[in-house]
Chain A
Amino acid sequence: MTLDQVILFTVDLLALFSIYLIINLGLNLQQGVTGIPNFGLVLAVAGGAYITASLSTRLAIYLLNVHTNLDPIVNNVSVLQLVNPILRSSPSLSIGLLALFLVIGGASGALMGLVSSAPAVRLREDYLAITLLAFGEILNVVGTGYDPLIGGPPGTSLPDIFGWAGQYRFYWATLIMLLVAVMIFVYMERLVRTPFGRVLKAIRDNENTARSLGKDITRYRMSAILIGSILCGIAGALWALYSGAVTPSYDRFDYTFLPWLMILLGGMGSNIGTAVGTLVFVTLDELIDYFKYSFAPFLPFNVVWLNYLLLGLLTIIILIYRPEGIIREKWASVPAAPPPSPTGEAKPG
């Protein structure tokens, strides 16, 4: 491979990595830290993507003072032809809009989180997992059926907020996404080390005891779901903006199953584990994608299905032989260090 190809590959990989890292951190908080089996992540991710997409063009028109009679969704291509030049000429305006869209993405995620938390209050384990899975399906139905949202099956495009970077568009976009992902990672690490994080883990380990210690279980669980969903919403919005367009095809495989696989691989409960799992996985996945066609002559079937087979089998193997993942959860210690006992500083993990 040439240097150019390697760079392209890496950039591609990092973009994907950033998005998934955000989603997975959200899932980790819910499942790894608090013990809530959210099999309906796709709801929050798609929610972030679709709602942001839906509002993005409309807001762009409004804020940039573009006058048009065209419908922002149905005629999105034409409308965007008016909007994009403005964005391309002004990086600060674009970044500003980006921030706005991310907030919208997060808010949409929160909304979806609220929806998801309703059953989470009453149900546990299997029941909850199944229900959340079912919930996850609903958004695609709405997206496909309700045209004003994102234009039905063909979907819609979003304003080109990375356009100002010209030919370096993808590099800058990836950089920004990576930045957002890192910021979120740092935030999550700090969150987990607070007394709040401690209570979440306690709830995961033994809910009844936590309750008898006076903790409001419902509130904590809801918080975990909300935060996780906000993260997913942001990721969804980011991906939509990066891709430039959205179709109602955000499916369970990509956004629920894969995140589970990734946090399993890396080790549930620890954020670093999540990051490692995400990195390893995304790298593997990209490698499979890039090289599968060279395997084609050796395989008796169409390589397109290779991903499914390999990933499914990989998950099963991990579950049987090493369910803790690559990095076991290290007990994040308490920050303060009083004289008599070596309470320890915050360990990585």
Chain B
Amino acid sequence: MASLLSVEEVAASFGKLRALDGVTLSVEEESVTLLIGPNGSGKTTLVNVITGFQKPDGGHIYYGGKEITRWSPQRVYRAGIARTFQVPSLFSKLTTIQNLLVADKAHPGESFLKSHLRRLWVKHEKERVEKASKILQTLGLTEQSDKPASVLSGGQMKLTELGRALMSDAKLYLLDEPISGVNPTLALEIFARIVSLRKQFGVTFFIIEHRLDIALRYVDYVNVMASGKLVAAGTPTQIVSDPKVIEAYLAR
């Protein structure tokens, strides 16, 4: 299968600290790929660089064959890559469902001029609301649908964040610890849903997670990072018995 996203020798630093030290990896199309590694290994930085929130010092990033190395976050988003944040960044005064509805690349109702004629956007809006409601249902957030995001619990916020990403019709989803703070039953359900989404829509997931007990069951490939470099890559079974991986985690 073709690789949808490939990262080549990407380097990035914060001042003197070298967060990414020549990382090369690729993500297969329609796969669920995991990225793990001890804290500080550069996982979030890598996602930041891929999505344009941080500019790399060197290296290249290719998506669907095109180079996207220094694209801005908006451009990356419009190209079909969606991401979630470790710390949920929701719109606190909007309701849960509104938070999902804002994630729309081209909603005619959002243009000032067009918003005057309801006819132009009512149908689109209905479709989005339906989709959003279904996603909220899967995530178990239906009751919070009309409540402002500020009253949600930490775990619920993460879920909403995930829901928002799912609204975006993206082809590649970069999820940064999507189930941290979520109870195990729901977490399993979410991962199951992720996998079925992959099948249904042919989308690709690249996930950063720590909870290996849950994640490893559902993923196709695993990448392991430590100290800004990639130290191992392979299927879950391979990784679990790879001595380098164990060392990376213990050394921290």
Asked whether any CB of A lies within 8 Å of a CB of B in the complex, the reply is yes
Task: Name A's B-contacting residues (CB within 8 A).
Answer: 191, 194-199, 201-202, 204-206, 208-216, 223, 227, 269, 329, 331, 333-336, 338, 340-344
Question: Would you call A338 and B109 a contact (CB within 8 A)?
Answer: no
A-B contacts, 22 of them at CB < 8 A, read A195-B109, A196-B109, A199-B102, A201-B93, A201-B94, A204-B93, A205-B90, A209-B90, A209-B91, A211-B73, A212-B77, A212-B83, A213-B77, A213-B168, A223-B112, A331-B98, A335-B122, A338-B129, A338-B130, A340-B133, A341-B136, A343-B145
Q: Could you tell me the distance in whole angstroms from the C-beta of B81 to the nearest C-beta in chain A?
A: 11
Partner of A338, one of B91, B101, B126: B126
Report the separation of the CA atoms of residues A329 and B110 in the bound assembly, to the nearest whole angstrom: 21
Complex contacts, B90 vs chain A, CB 8 Å? 205-206, 209
Task: Name B's A-contacting residues (CB within 8 A).
Answer: 51, 53, 73-74, 77-78, 83, 89-95, 97-98, 101-105, 107, 109-112, 115, 121-122, 125-126, 129-130, 133-134, 136-137, 142, 145-148, 168
Complex contacts, B91 vs chain A, CB 8 Å? 201-202, 205-206, 209-210
Question: Would you call B101 and A195 a contact (CB within 8 A)?
Answer: yes
Question: Would you call B102 and A213 a contact (CB within 8 A)?
Answer: yes
Report the separation of the CA atoms of residues A214 and B130 in the bound assembly, to the nearest whole angstrom: 22
Q: Could you tell me the distance in whole angstroms from the C-beta of B71 to the nearest C-beta in chain A?
A: 12
Question: Would you call B110 and A343 a contact (CB within 8 A)?
Answer: no
Complex contacts, A331 vs chain B, CB 8 Å? 93-95, 98, 146-148
Report the separation of the CA atoms of residues A204 and B129 in the bound assembly, to the nearest whole angstrom: 22
Known A-B contacts A331-B95, A341-B142; A196 and B110 likewise in contact (beta carbons under 8 Å): yes
Q: Could you tell me the distance in whole angstroms from the C-beta of A146 to the nearest C-beta in chain B?
A: 33
Question: Would you call A214 and B105 a contact (CB within 8 A)?
Answer: yes
Complex contacts, B121 vs chain A, CB 8 Å? 194-195
Report the separation of the CA atoms of residues A210 and B101 in the bound assembly, to the nearest whole angstrom: 12
Question: Would you call B142 and A340 a contact (CB within 8 A)?
Answer: yes
Question: Would you call A212 and B94 a contact (CB within 8 A)?
Answer: no
Q: Could you tell me the distance in whole angstroms from the C-beta of B165 to the nearest C-beta in chain A?
A: 10
Question: Would you call A191 and B74 a contact (CB within 8 A)?
Answer: no
Complex contacts, A329 vs chain B, CB 8 Å? 93
Question: Would you call B53 and A212 a contact (CB within 8 A)?
Answer: yes
Complex contacts, A206 vs chain B, CB 8 Å? 89-92
Question: Would you call A198 and B98 a contact (CB within 8 A)?
Answer: yes
| Given pairs A195-B121, A333-B146, 14 additional interface contacts (CB within 8 A) | A194-B109, A194-B121, A195-B104, A198-B102, A201-B93, A210-B91, A214-B78, A329-B93, A331-B93, A336-B130, A338-B130, A338-B133, A341-B133, A342-B145
Question: Would you call B89 and A343 a contact (CB within 8 A)?
Answer: no
Question: Of all chain A residues, which has the CB nearest B92?
Answer: A205
Partner of A336, one of B53, B126, B134: B126
Report the separation of the CA atoms of residues A154 and B123 in the bound assembly, to the nearest whole angstrom: 56
Report the separation of the CA atoms of residues A215 and B137 in the bound assembly, to the nearest whole angstrom: 27
Question: Would you call A202 and B94 a contact (CB within 8 A)?
Answer: yes
Report the separation of the CA atoms of residues A129 and B190 in the bound assembly, to the nearest whole angstrom: 45
Complex contacts, B105 vs chain A, CB 8 Å? 214
Report the separation of the CA atoms of residues A301 and B51 in the bound assembly, to the nearest whole angstrom: 65
Question: Would you call B102 and A214 a contact (CB within 8 A)?
Answer: no
Q: Could you tell me the distance in whole angstroms from the C-beta of B140 to the nearest C-beta in chain A?
A: 12
Q: Could you tell me the distance in whole angstroms from the C-beta of A344 to the nearest C-beta in chain B?
A: 5
Report the separation of the CA atoms of residues A208 and B91 in the bound assembly, to the nearest whole angstrom: 10
Q: Could you tell me the distance in whole angstroms from the C-beta of B25 to the nearest C-beta in chain A?
A: 23
Q: Could you tell me the distance in whole angstroms from the C-beta of B112 to the nearest C-beta in chain A?
A: 5
Question: Would you call B107 and A214 a contact (CB within 8 A)?
Answer: no
Question: Would you call B110 and A214 a contact (CB within 8 A)?
Answer: no
Complex contacts, B110 vs chain A, CB 8 Å? 195-196, 198-199, 215
Q: Could you tell me the distance in whole angstroms from the C-beta of B132 to the nearest C-beta in chain A?
A: 9
Q: Could you tell me the distance in whole angstroms from the C-beta of B204 to the nearest C-beta in chain A?
A: 19
Partner of B98, one of A204, A209, A334, A341: A334
Question: Would you call B74 and A211 a contact (CB within 8 A)?
Answer: yes
Known A-B contacts A198-B98, A198-B101; A343 and B129 likewise in contact (beta carbons under 8 Å): yes
Complex contacts, B97 vs chain A, CB 8 Å? 334, 343
Question: Would you call A336 and B129 a contact (CB within 8 A)?
Answer: yes
Question: Would you call B95 and A333 a contact (CB within 8 A)?
Answer: yes
Question: Would you call A341 and B103 a contact (CB within 8 A)?
Answer: no
Most buried by A among B97, B102, B146: B102
Complex contacts, B73 vs chain A, CB 8 Å? 211-212
Q: Could you tell me the distance in whole angstroms from the C-beta of A140 to the nearest C-beta in chain B?
A: 31
Complex contacts, B94 vs chain A, CB 8 Å? 198, 201-202, 205, 331
Partner of B115, one of A194, A216, A336: A194
Known A-B contacts A208-B89, A213-B102, A329-B93; A196 and B115 likewise in contact (beta carbons under 8 Å): yes
